Amino acid sequence: MFENIRLSFQGIFGHKMRSFLTMLGIIIGIAAIIAIVSTIKGTNDQIKNNLVGAGDNLVDVKLSMGGYDITPYDGMNLDNIPVIDGNMLETMKDMKDVANVCIYHENEMYEGISYRDRSAEGLRIIGTDNSYLDINNYLITAGRKFVQDDFNKRRNVCIIDRNAADSLFEGEEPVNQTIEIKGIPFIVAGVIDKSDDFEPVINSPEEWYTYYGESNSGFIVIPETAWPELFSYDQPFQVIVKATSTETMSSAGKEVEEYLNSFITSSENQNDENQIKYKRENTLEKVKALQELSNTTSQQLIWIASISLIVGGIGVMNIMLVSVTERTREIGLKKALGARKRAILGQFLTEAAVLTSLGGILGVGAGIGLAYFISNVASVPVAISIPAIVVSVVFSMLIGIIFGLLPSVKASNLNPIDALRYE
């Protein structure tokens, strides 16, 4: 075997230009496949990171009707929606794939929020429990968090994010200042910002709106005990579930969704599209759908790129047939000296496999370089796939064996007398 490999390299380097041109089809095919797989893998990772975030593992379980999220409004019949109490909250926290749970109210106010003579529009008001900030990875940059007495004594305090602070205070120190929400005074206890450094990759105005457009107006967080003072109706809670990992987000959200829906009572058919029920945000399902679309495209491109591998294989077969013809007398001499068919067959198969394997290795290098070139030119993310590299090299070797089989059989079947007489 090692002698055959040595002879193979000797033959390849003895005809450098011919060997390179023979390998070119293999190199191009493997390079194209590596570049496609690396680009698609990078794109899939970006999709997942952008939609899921940097390890937050959060799933929103919201009220919905007919498959669409709804915001409860005054006069809406919500008598059949369960009131989430402490026992229900503890039950949800003890579920298998759940790390933590918080409850919250949310409303968007286009007016009615002011500080002195300044007002802000489009701020979100969030009424929640004491775990909301921690679950959402918010960091206090000024002031303090909520304390239990804020809830026990129903204090009118609030925590604002940086965007709301900029809108209302315009550079002034907001902590301990008093703002008015619907004419009711709230003392600013603290200012928050995201504690992680997750930044989605933005490639279009639509993506900017998806990740930033809805949050740039800012929000104000108040204790859920202060919520009824602003909104007179009994609004049911929404739920944020923190899963134990990114992979368990779907199962954690589904478990909480089914648990909450088990408390909903109605005389109407549960399958009625007008039935109000809790529905989890299917973030991972969106990720999988986008990745499946991306993978389908990549598979089509890989099949197209594989055509060049077939062309390369035909080139290997052609050059090996030429090699058999050129070395007919050598084959005849070896057979005359006692070489068996198996030895001749093994020598030429090894030469074909070495030729295509070398082309595969060069193709991998070219593919990695091509992937990074595409990334720099088109701003496309790249993630090099080690399994794809291994499979590509093994596949190129198999091409050598498959397309080198016919010339090798032809060489091993030569009659030694005719071979020695060949001119």
pLDDT digit string, tens, across residues 13-57: 777 787 888 788 888 888 888 888 888 777 777 766 665 555 578
Confidence at residue 178, expressed as pLDDT on a 0 to 100 scale: 95
Q: CB of 268 within 8 A of CB of 289?
A: no
Q: Tell whether the model's pLDDT for residue 203 goes beyond 60.
A: no
Residues 204 and 312 both lie in one domain: no
Name the domain boundary from 231, 246, 281: 281
What is the pLDDT of the chain when averaged over all its residues? 79
Residues 252 and 129 both lie in one domain: yes
Confidence at residue 49, expressed as pLDDT on a 0 to 100 scale: 64
Show Cβ contacts of residue 156 under 8 Å, excluding neighbours closer than 6 positions.
184, 185, 186, 187, 222, 226, 229
pLDDT digit string, tens, across residues 235-249: 788 899 998 887 788
pTM of the model: 0.58
Residues 83 and 210 both lie in one domain: yes
- What token pair was written down for 45? 């990772």
pLDDT band at 331 (very low <50, low <70, confident <90, very high): low
Residues 162 and 45 both lie in one domain: no
Q: CB of 401 within 8 A of CB of 349?
A: yes
Q: Name the region of 112 (left: φ>0; alpha: ψ -120 to 50; beta: rest).
A: left
Confidence at residue 101, expressed as pLDDT on a 0 to 100 scale: 93
Residues 174 and 113 both lie in one domain: yes
Residues 125 and 163 both lie in one domain: yes
- 12 vs 224, residue with greater confidence: 224
Confidence at residue 208, expressed as pLDDT on a 0 to 100 scale: 42
CB 47: neighbour CB atoms within 10 A?
A: 20
Name the domain boundary from 281, 306, 331: 281
Place of tokens 């923190």: 242
Percent of the chain predicted with pLDDT > 90:
21
* Nearest Cα to Cα of residue 404 among 348, 328, 354: 348
Name the domain boundary from 216, 251, 281: 281
Number of folded domains that form the chain: 2
pLDDT band at 293 (very low <50, low <70, confident <90, very high): low
Q: What's the whole-number mean pLDDT along residues 303-316?
A: 76
- What token pair was written down for 250? 């779907």
Residues 172 and 272 both lie in one domain: yes
Confidence at residue 402, expressed as pLDDT on a 0 to 100 scale: 81
Q: Tell whether the model's pLDDT for residue 204 goes beyond 60.
A: no
Q: CB of 163 within 8 A of CB of 214?
A: no
CB 101: neighbour CB atoms within 10 A?
A: 25
Domain assignment of residue 395, given as a range? 2-50+289-421
Confidence at residue 232, expressed as pLDDT on a 0 to 100 scale: 66
Q: Tell whether the model's pLDDT for residue 202 goes beyond 60.
A: no
Residues 235 and 363 both lie in one domain: no
Confidence at residue 345, expressed as pLDDT on a 0 to 100 scale: 74
Q: Tell whether the model's pLDDT for residue 382 goes beyond 50.
A: yes
* Nearest Cα to Cα of residue 354 among 95, 12, 20, 3: 12
Q: Of 28-32, 204-208, 355-359, where does mean pLDDT reach its minimum?
A: 204-208
pLDDT digit string, tens, across residues 162-200: 989 998 998 899 999 999 999 999 999 999 987 655 455
What is the spatial distance between Cα 211 and Cα 194, in angstroms, rounded to a whole number?
14
